[in-house]
Amino acid sequence: MLVRPFDPARELEAAARLLAERWSLALPTAISAAVSAAIAFFAIGAIIVGVLGAYLVGGLDAALGALTTGALTFAVALAVIVLLSWIGHAVVVVAAHDAWAGREPDFSQALRIVFARLPALLTAFVAIGVLALVPLLLCFVLIGFPLLLALGYLLMYVTPAIVIGGEDGLSAVRSSFRIAVHNGGPSGIGYAGILGAFLIGRVADAMFVHIPLIGLVSAFVIGGITAAYGSLVAVRFYEQLRPVPSSEPQAALAAGS
């Protein structure tokens, strides 16, 4: 098996240029980011109102009961937010596959592909949730945060492996681990680019998140752009780093040029 040669740093720049030229690629992730922000805002608001109302009516015990119910509500809302974000990411991955090939992105076709691959995406979603459970619990003692970052690195190719590579959920997780481990240098640069864009976006978004209407607009624009950039990088690095049949060396070299 061969791997296509390419320049990771140049690919990060190319992803930014492609997103500037094809700004519509950010629309699916922008919509999912805005919807996610709305869900989070109303879920947190409902929890606060519920706890305060229970305290005024039934005292501390009622407030604690309402807080427990609110925690379950927040967990469900968080799961919905993550799933929506992942579907938006998957749509952009499919559209980005066309954009990198010089074709105009077809979002209707991308949606059809994503919905056709939804069982595999849901399987991977559950598998990733299981893998992330221990690091999430360890976040209370801080060591969970670097573990989550390492897990995110190892899982950065799961969605492209499903919607581009046609793999099922569990094999996509294994493929992502394999590609990330066997291509540590390029994958590390790609992940640093994705993580850097995410952190810059979160810092910018934090300035407006507490202002209801402006916060939603900020989530739509900033969240959409940063998530779309991450999708562009993920699909590009997946296409370039996944092994290709050794019987097709000239095709591999042509694809990397």
What one-character DSSP code corresponds to residue 44?
H
Mean pLDDT computed over every residue of the chain: 82
Reported as a single tens digit per residue, the pLDDT across 154-170 is: 999 999 999 999 899 89
Reported as a single tens digit per residue, the pLDDT across 6-62 is: 788 888 998 889 888 888 888 888 888 778 878 887 888 888 888 888 878 877 777
Model pTM score: 0.77
Least Cα distance to 182 among 246, 237, 108 occurs for 237
Tokens of 167: 């793999």
Whole-number Cα distances in Å, 203 to 85, 208, 226: 19, 10, 12
Listed in sequence order, the DSSP H helices in the chain are: 8-21, 27-100, 107-116, 118-138, 144-154, 158-163, 169-182, 184-206, 212-218, 224-241, 249-256
Question: Cα 79 to the chain's mean position, in Å?
Answer: 13
What one-character DSSP code corresponds to residue 86?
H
d(CA 163, CA 248): 23
Residue 250's pLDDT is 37
pLDDT at 236 over 50: yes
d(CA 109, CA 127): 27
d(CA 219, CA 182): 35
2: pLDDT confidence band, cut at 50, 70 and 90? very low
